[in-house]
Structure 1
Amino acid sequence: MRWKDVQDTPDRNQTFYFQINQQMTIEDLGYNEVLEDQRKENGFAAFDFGRIISEHKERYTIKTPEAEYEAELLGRLRFTAETRYDFPAVGDWVAFSEYDEGKALIHGIFPRYSVIERQAVGKSSDVQIIATNIDYGIIVQAVDRDFNLNRLERYLIICNASRVSPIIVLSKIDLVDEKVLNEYIGSVHTRMKDVPVVCVSHDAGGYKALTPYIKKGKTYCLLGSSGVGKSTLLNNLAGADVMETSEISTSVNKGRHTTSHRELSVLENGAIIIDNPGMREVGISDSNQGLEITFDTIMEYANQCKYSDCRHVEERGCAVLAALENGEIDEAAYDNFRKLEKEKMYFEANKIDRKKKEKDFGKMIKNIQKDRRKNKY
């Protein structure tokens, strides 16, 4: 497949929700002139190219307008990979070659313009890539038992760290009364200014309020805990059963369906959406000012502190504490900021320690190899 050869290729994959006889082009998957320039600049012109739409334990599905390919990473790339960033992820554009019908080898990954990531579960210094090349993060939070402002701020951080525009969707609004719902909406607007908020439910609808944000050629990533209604949201946006859902379980107020893997779909209006398994933990691995962007009000006051190394705890001349006392900073937001700041510092310290250990281990291996060569003669 080449850039100019795929414009009139019909789509045959039923996981993509186009009208019958509507033709899919490479642009429908999000391809553009910037990516075409990158393809040439990175030496990928001789290869086919497509987008990763799913990943299963280092086995990948590549989508092109013509077909889908089951792919794996070229052995050389696997051997030279140093971090998780060197492996493909859902949302990536890749250069590949087909070696058998429907089978392919990945030769390279296009440069990414955004990466949504979190701290890997159970690992204090590793990251897990959630999705790449994302324009908008749709953060879904149920207003029944799942509602948690602190968790919402965690999702905002992982979006802001990658400069992904967040959209908050409050789901299952039919399960709380209007007074409680309005209190929730008010608290979100207080702590998360300038972030769009849309309210939806399976019974009350509201999905049309989200459609102005769903634009052709843009890539969206659904984020949220298990059972908050991400798959139902995707089905309503697609106008079809993209993901299976079931009746609500009365014991836990959650749908019985849970997404088991990340998957990219193209909607009829041309928007591209990546669904994700529910996340129980949203650990912060922020190294790109995501925390500072999310808590921008606190950071504005922090810049006014008397001392540049102010910890905003008990120091004299602390503008943050003064604003907190005057009610200009929300106390709960301040407490969460302090907690997340400590978590970020802990992660970064562990990452530095891990790199040092890896460097020391590498030196040890080199010394052993050097001694062996010396003793060989």
Structure 2
Amino acid sequence: MTIQDLGYTNALEEFRTEQNLDSFEVGRILSEHKERYVIKTPTQEYDAELIGNLRYTAESRYDFPAVGDWVAFSEYDEGKALIHAIYPRNSIIERRAVGVSGKVQIIATNIDYGLIVQAVNRDFNINRLERYLTICNASKVEPIIILSKIDLLDEAGLQNIINQIKQRIKDITILTVSNQIAKGYDTLNQIIQKGKTYCLLGSSGVGKSTLLNNLAGKQQMKTGEISASVNKGKHITSHRELIVLDNGGILIDNPGMREVGIADTSSGLETTFETIIEYADNCRFKDCTHIHEQGCAILEAVENGEIDKDSYSNFRKMEKEKIHFESDAKERKKKDKDLGKMIRNVQKQRRNNKY
């Protein structure tokens, strides 16, 4: 294995030289857990932590490493390392942090393709597909839809689901697999490219870990038995992890996401719902809310069936979430700024009292 097999590029090497990081080793974050990290190089894995300066100067989640990041590090003991710098990211897949207003959760970085996995049984939800699609589009990551557990449907039922997707989501690759009979993996293996990074996205129980095991040809992730009552595999994966496949592809597995919250994803919404945006551009009202105005181009297109009604409803819901997130983020930034000002005033006062 070479460093290029892990996804290292000429642009990253140029950054290393420009920033005088040649004295440090370079590796990729394999996994993270509470500010502890595993770094992978072509020859070894290291347990790592941040140097104090990086930790104390960090202003947001973006200043900490995430799975998929390239980092400069030094070994201080056998298998132990300190992270000195994070290399620039070419993409960040993120969502709104669960239960925390105005904050994001980084799912993975430096991703080339997002593999959006949905089971064709009870999990299938086209609105959720559009959410994952929006997250990928906002990150400039090429999405690929994988429909799993196709052995649970007959051919007509499967084709019906594919037609539903094509009606609402244009120009996207759709692949079908069965984990029980290992069907569809030849096609999936053919699209996975050496040195490219793929991130698995999907809810718990859709078969992501089983899919990873089949791609790897061995047991990489534990999988749970199928529950007869709900026809779902039990949720096993508890953290993100990067794995290099035998064919050279790089795969990042993720815990199942119960919530797919939309953050600041204007570009993602515009790409996912391109047809709606095009009608909005042609709307006769510059300040149209596209909700109740007579003569609104979007509402007329929905009425005429040119825009899918459910898709438009999903778009409006996600747009509201984006606006809400931006408002929360702005308020949090103001509070952080006020707190910083208060701390500086206290420090100044203490210095004055000292003298």
What's the TM-score, normalizing by structure 2?
0.97
Structure 1: which amino acid aligns with 2:241? E
Q: Bigger shift: 366-375 or 116-125?
A: 366-375
The C-alpha deviation readout for 1:169-191, integer Å capped at 9, x for no partner, is: 01111112333222211111111
Q: Which residue of 1 aligns with 2:210?
A: 232
Shift of 1:246: 4.1
1:145-156 equivalence runs, <5 A: 145-156=122-133
Is 1:220 aligned to 2:198, yes or no? yes
Aligned to 1:113: 90
Query: Hey, what does 2:247 align to over in structure 1?
Result: 269
CA shift, 1:57, in A, is 1.2
**1:37 matches 2:17:** no
Alpha-carbon offset, residue 257 of structure 1: 5.1
Number of residue equivalences: 354
Hey, which bits of structure 1, 4+ residues long, moved more than 4 A? Answer: none
Q: Secondary structure at the match of 2:278?
A: helix
| Corresponding residue number in structure 1 for 2:46 | 69
The answer (yes or no) to whether the contact 1:157–1:286 under 8 Å persists in 2 is no
Amino acid at match of 1:264: L
* Equivalent runs, 1:1-377 vs 2, <5 Å: 24-204=1-181, 205-256=183-234, 258-377=236-355
Equivalent residue number for residue 13 of structure 1 = none
- For 1:36, the aligned partner's letter is E
Change (3 A) 1:43 1:181: same
CA deviation profile, 1:244-291 (whole Å, cap 9, x unmatched): 224322122122352111111111111000001111111011345111
User: CA deviation digits over 1:103-124, x for unaligned, max 9?
Assistant: 0000000000000000111012
* AA partner of residue 142 (structure 1): A
Contact 1:162 1:288 in 2 (8 A): no
- Amino acid aligned to 2:316: R
Give the secondary-structure state (helix, strand or coil) at the position aligned to 1:141: strand
Report the AA paired with residue 203 of structure 1: Q
Whole-angstrom distance in 2 between the partners of 1:193 and 1:254: 29
Aligned-residue offset at 1:357: 1.1
Runs of 5+ unmatched residues, structure 2: none
In the TM superposition, residue 40 of structure 1 has moved relative to its aligned partner by: 1.3
Q: Structure 1 regions of 5+ residues with no counterpart?
A: 1-23
Partner of 1:5: none
Contact 1:142 1:171 in 2 (8 A): yes
The alignment partner of 2:291 has SS state of coil
SS for the counterpart of 2:336 is: helix
SS of 2:327's partner is helix
- The residue identity in structure 2 corresponding to 1:273 is L
How far apart are the structure 2 equivalents of 1:341 and 1:80? 33
For the residue of structure 2 that corresponds to 1:282, the secondary structure is coil
Q: Is the 8 A contact 2:36 2:49 kept in 1?
A: yes
RMSD value, Cα: 1.3
Answer yes or no: is the 8 Å Cα contact 1:125–1:347 preserved in 2: yes
- Change in 2 beyond 3 A, CA 1:135/1:211: same
CA distance in 2, matches of 1:347, 1:180: 38
Q: Distance in 2 between matches of 1:359 and 1:50?
A: 34
